[in-house]
Structures are given as C-alpha cells and as structure tokens.
Amino acid sequence: MHSPPLGPMEPRGAGDSLTAGMTACLAKGDPSETALRIGAACGALDAVRHGLGTGGATAVEILAHRVRITAFDEDG
C-alpha cells in the first residue's frame, strides 16, 4: 500500500485513525481492499491536520482514491 505523499503536521493518532477507518469498513462488510484504502486515507488525513480527528468524510474519500495497493513480494 502506498499512501499519497503528504507533509505531516501532527502524526499522533494517525495509526488509531487508520485502524478505525479499516474497522468501520470491515464492520459494514466492505471488501478488504476498500478497508485498506479508507484506513490509509484516515491515517494520512489525521497526520496532515492539526487536531485529532479533524478530517471529514469527503476528504477521506478523495484521499482513498489516491491510495495505491500493490502485491506483496514475499521474496523481498
């Protein structure tokens, strides 16, 4: 997974936001790929804003479309 390149302002809580975004998607029954995209977008949005949880659903959706997911190479 590759999140969009953004300049971090406040990284605290970004991992929690990523986890919350993924969990919410999976609880709704969304596919794993969607959950990963939304989670990455939530974490990235949280890291570039001042104040925890200050992003909105529209911003998350926009960032989620910019997340690239690539296959994992087990050989390195």
Query: Can you tell me the distance from the alpha carbon of 36 to that of 42, in angstroms, rounded to the nearest whole number?
Result: 10
Global confidence as pTM: 0.79
User: What does the pLDDT read at residue 24?
Assistant: 96
pLDDT category at 10 given cuts 50, 70, 90 is confident
Q: Tens digit of pLDDT for each residue in 26-54?
A: 999 999 999 999 999 999 888 887 666 56
| pLDDT above 80 (res 11) | no
pLDDT reported for residue 73: 79
| Domain map (residue ranges) of the chain | 14-64
pLDDT for the residue numbered 22: 96
Neighbours of 8 (CB within 10 A): 11
pLDDT at 55: 72
